[in-house]
Structure 1
Amino acid sequence: MKVESAEYLFEEKKKIEAWENDQKGLWFWEKIGRLPFLMLDKITPKFIQDKIGLAIDELGSYIQTGGQYLVKEDTILKKFNPNHSLWSEGHNRNDFFSNLPISKMDEIADEIGNSRTKLATIQGATTGIGGIFTLAVDIPVLLGLSLKVLQEISICYGYDPNEKSERIFIVKCLQFTSSDIVGKKAILEELSAYNQGNQNNQMISQLQGWREVVTTYRDSFGWKKLFQMIPIAGIIFGAVINRSSIGDIAEAGKMLYRKRRIVERIHQLESI
C-alpha cells in the first residue's frame, strides 16, 4: 500500500534537510555556558554536588537496559487507536506503521511535544522556587524528561526504545540539541548510518560515554540555570528555561525520527 507519493516524500525530506542546515549550533553567549558551572561548583555545598552526581550516574543504565527511564509503549500506541490492540488480527509493528500516514505520526508527535513542554514549564517553575537547592533536583529531572519525550516520539514513528540501538539514537538526539555547528554536523553524519541500516557497531563505538553526554547537555544551558539559583525569581527563569529546552529537544527528535521514516519509505518505493 502506497501511503504517500514519491514526490511528497522527497519534498518533505528536503524540508528536514533545510532544517538541519539551519541548526547553526549555539550562539556565543550559549557557548560560554560552562563558565557559570565552574562558579557553581565552587559555591555549591558538597551534599548537593553528590546528589547531582548520583542522579547522573543512575542515568548511565539507560543505554544498557533502559532502567527506570523506559516509557510504557502502550500509552503512546493507544493514541493511534484507543479501542483495541494495534497488533491484533495478526499485524505487527512494521505492518501497522508501514501503512500509517506520516501526517498521523506528526500529529501524535506534536501532541506529545506540546504536552511535555508544558510539563517542563511547570516543573521548572516549581524547582525555581528554592534557588540553588532545588536546582540540584531540576537538572536530573530535566534530563529524565528529555529522555522520555524522545522515547515517546520514537514510538510515534514506529521505533522501539526497548532496543539498545534505539536508545543510542535517542542519546545522539540529545547530544545534537546541545552541540555547536561542528558537533551537529558530526552527529548528523553518525545518524545517517541508521538510514543505511548500520545501526549498531559504528554508533556504539562513537558513543564516548553517558557522563560526557550529560555534562555537555548540562553545560550548554549553564549560564541560564545560574539565574535560577535566585530564590523566588528562579520561578520565572526555571519555567522559561525548561520550556525552551524540552521544546528544542522535542523538535529535534521529531525531525530526526521523521527523516528516518521518510528515507525508509523512499527506499521502499525505489525497490518496487
Structure 2
Amino acid sequence: MDTKEQLAQHLLTIEKWEKDQKGLWFWEKIGRIPFKILDKVTPAFIQNKIAELVAELGNYIQTGGRYLISERGMIEKVKKESKVQNIESIKDIANLPIESMISLSEALQQNRVKLATVQGASTGIGGIFTLAIDIPVVLGMALKTLQEIAILHGYDPNDKLERVFIVKCLQFSSADIVGKEAILKELSTMHENNQASENMISQLQGWQEVFFTYRDQFGWKKLFQLVPIAGILFGAYANRSMIHDVAEAGMMLYRKRRIYEKMQELEEL
C-alpha cells in the first residue's frame, strides 16, 4: 500500500511537470501559421474527409464509437505484468501501488511511441495527400493510448464522463499555456469532488477544437512532407512527438487524480 509520504512525493513530481508546461516552443508557435495557408490549397476531398472525421469523433464522447477499446485484454495484461493475480476488474487495478501504475504506463508509452513513429514515416511518403489518412490514424492511436492509460490507473473509459476526461487530456497535450491552465482548473474538480463534474460536458467545446488544434500544432512539420524523402523523416517525428506528449499528459493527469483519491482513502482510515 502507498504511504502518505510516497504519495506526496509523487504529487510533487507531477506539480513540477505542470510548472514546466510553460508554453510552446518557438517552432510550435510558428507551426500554427502554415496550416491556415494550407486550408486554402487543400483539395476538396481531403477537406470532406476531415469534416467526416470531426463528426465521427463527436460520437466518441456519446457512445465511444469505434474508438472504444475492450478492457478485458488490458486487465489480463496488467495482471501478468504486475504479477498480482487477484486483478479481475478495472476497480481492482485502482488498488495497485502508484509505482506499478508508473512502470506500466511508461512501458505502454514507449510501445505506442514506436508504433506512431513507424506509422508517421509510412504516411510521410505521400505528403499532403496522405494527410487525410495520417490524421485520423494517429488521432485514433492517441485515443486508444489514453484509454489504456485510464485503465492502468483504475478508471473505466466505458464511462461517458471518463471519455470527457480523456478528451481533456488530449486537449491539454496540444494547448498553449492559457489553455493548459484552464484545463488544469477544470480537471481539479475531479479530485476535489472525488467525481467527474457534469459541468465538464458543457465546458467541452467539442472535438472540432481538439482536431484542428492538433492539426495546427503539426503544421510546419507536415509542410516538410511535401518534400520527397524528408517527408518520411518529418512524418515520423511529428507522430512520435504527438503520441509521446499525449501519453505523458495522460499519465501525469491520471496519476494526479489517483494520488488524490488514495490520499483521501488514507485520511478516512
CA–CA distance in 1 between the matches of 2:140 and 2:3?
38
Conservation of the 8 A alpha-carbon contact between 2:121 and 2:234: yes
Gaps of 5+ in 2: none
Conservation of the 8 A alpha-carbon contact between 1:132 and 1:230: no
Q: Normalized against structure 2, the TM-score is what?
A: 0.93
Measured at CA, do residues 134 and 11 of structure 1 come closer, stay the same or move farther in structure 2, by a change above 3 Å? Answer: same
Instruction: Map 1:1-272; keep pairs closer than 5 Å.
Output: 3-82=1-80, 86-87=87-88, 92-94=89-91, 96-196=92-192, 197-272=194-269
Alpha-carbon shift at residue 120 of structure 1 (Å): 0.3
Q: Supply the AA of the counterpart residue of 1:202.
A: N
CA-to-aligned-CA distance 1:102-127 (integer Å, 9 cap, x gap): 11111211111111110000000000
Alpha-carbon shift at residue 21 of structure 1 (Å): 0.7
Q: Normalized against structure 1, the TM-score is what?
A: 0.92
Alpha-carbon shift at residue 158 of structure 1 (Å): 0.3
CA–CA distance in 1 between the matches of 2:18 and 2:103?
21
Conservation of the 8 A alpha-carbon contact between 1:131 and 1:232: no
CA–CA distance in 2 between the matches of 1:123 and 1:43?
25
Alpha-carbon shift at residue 259 of structure 1 (Å): 0.8
Alpha-carbon shift at residue 99 of structure 1 (Å): 3.1
CA-to-aligned-CA distance 1:49-94 (integer Å, 9 cap, x gap): 211221222111111011000112112111122497832xxxx543
Q: Supply the AA of the counterpart residue of 1:210.
A: W
Q: Supply the AA of the counterpart residue of 1:50.
A: N
Gaps of 5+ in 1: none
CA–CA distance in 2 between the matches of 1:259 and 1:125?
33
Alpha-carbon shift at residue 198 of structure 1 (Å): 4.4
CA–CA distance in 2 between the matches of 1:80 and 1:201?
30
Alpha-carbon shift at residue 98 of structure 1 (Å): 4.3
Task: Report percent identity of matched pairs.
Answer: 60
Q: Supply the AA of the counterpart residue of 2:221.
A: K
CA–CA distance in 2 between the matches of 1:179 and 1:93?
30
Q: Supply the AA of the counterpart residue of 2:227.
A: I
Conservation of the 8 A alpha-carbon contact between 1:129 and 1:234: yes
Alpha-carbon shift at residue 173 of structure 1 (Å): 0.4
CA–CA distance in 2 between the matches of 1:98 and 1:37?
41
CA–CA distance in 2 between the matches of 1:231 and 1:43?
19
Measured at CA, do residues 169 and 98 of structure 1 come closer, stay the same or move farther in structure 2, by a change above 3 Å? Answer: closer
Alignment RMSD, CA only? 1.6
The count of residues paired between Structure 1 and Structure 2 equals 265
